[in-house]
């Protein structure tokens, strides 16, 4: 049997654009996002490979963000992104629709915890972060094999991208919650064969932040760390 030729499958993960949520927890609520800052998407488009397979979740905010990135790139004519329900954000059950500031204060988010709950806690009517990990990791593993040696661009959610990082680094669910994933940030994870290893090339990279630092007036800061 001949040795398997070396190859790498590169995942380019982008978190969706900011969601005008009225201060309410949204989770899997299907809200629109704000794609008005065209320069953000131009900057992202310049970072991405040409010959890539594109995915989004089944939620509108990822589809709208993908469309904004593709629309900012003249090279991307004819490219479409396939939606996957497996890449949806964590379902926060009855917590969805609650006022975020009140919930955070009651639960000590940002003080005693970095997420809405410990990774193994299921909201009433929802799923835990550990449940999310099982759902998303299965899809990543399948698509990595299906598109071996390709570039895969996936516009997703903060929770989904934390799962991808956890899979690459063999992290426990609770540890994965320590990562900050900003809106419109880029995380790149490379799967190397035949060794079956993951290489972390970048996490929460913000190519548009260079524009913000130099522009006058500056572009507004993109909101971070919400669901």
Is 124 inside any structural domain? yes
Q: What is the pLDDT of residue 212?
A: 52
Residue 153 belongs to some domain of the structure: yes
| Residue 79: inside a domain | yes
Please give the DSSP secondary-structure letter assigned to residue 86.
G
Which pLDDT score is estimated for 219?
41
Kindly report the pTM of this predicted structure: 0.91
Helix (H) or strand (E) holding 165: helix 158-169
| Cα within 13 Å of Cα(86), Cβ side | 16
Q: With a cut of 50, which residues of the chain have pLDDT below it?
A: 1, 214, 216-224
Range of the structural domain that residue 209 is part of: 7-214
For residue 144, what is the DSSP state?
H
Look at residue 85 in the predicted model and tell me its pLDDT.
98
In whole angstroms, give the CA distance from residue 75 to residue 69.
11
- What are the strands of the beta sheet with 7-15, ordered from one edge? 82-84, 52-57, 151-156, 7-15, 186-193, 197-205
Is residue 83 in some structural domain? yes
Examine residue 70 and state whether it is found in any structural domain, yes or no.
yes
User: Cα dist. 71→137, 156, 197 in Å?
Assistant: 29, 18, 34
Q: Is residue 1 part of a domain?
A: no
Question: In the chain, how many domains are there?
Answer: 1
To the nearest 10°, the Cα dihedral for 71, 203, 149, 140?
Answer: -90
The CATH number covering residue 159 comes to 3.40.50.1240
* Res 216: pLDDT: 42
Within a domain: 24: yes
Domain assignment present for 64: yes
């Amino acid at each position: 049997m001949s040795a398997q030729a070396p190859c790498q499958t590169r995942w380019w993960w982008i978190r969706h654009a900011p969601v005008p949520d009225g201060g309410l927890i949204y989770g899997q609520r299907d809200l629109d996002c704000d794609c008005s800052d065209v320069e953000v998407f131009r900057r992202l488009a310049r970072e991405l490979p040409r010959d890539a397979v594109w995915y989004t979740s089944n939620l509108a905010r990822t589809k709208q963000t993908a469309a904004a990135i593709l629309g900012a790139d003249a090279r991307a004519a004819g490219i479409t992104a396939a939606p996957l329900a497996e890449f949806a954000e964590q379902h926060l059950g009855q917590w969805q629709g609650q006022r975020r500031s009140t919930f955070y204060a009651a639960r000590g988010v940002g003080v005693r915890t970095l997420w809405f709950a410990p990774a193994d806690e299921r909201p009433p009517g929802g799923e835990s972060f550990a449940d999310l990990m099982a759902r998303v990791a299965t899809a990543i593993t399948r698509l990595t094999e299906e598109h071996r040696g390709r570039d895969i661009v996936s516009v997703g959610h903060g929770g989904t991208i934390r799962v991808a990082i956890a899979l690459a680094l063999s992290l426990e669910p609770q540890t994965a919650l320590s990562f900050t994933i900003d809106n419109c940030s880029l995380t790149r994870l490379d799967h190397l064969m035949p060794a079956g290893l993951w290489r972390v090339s970048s996490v929460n990279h913000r190519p548009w932040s260079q524009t913000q630092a130099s522009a006058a007036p500056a572009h507004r800061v993109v909101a971070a760390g919400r669901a």
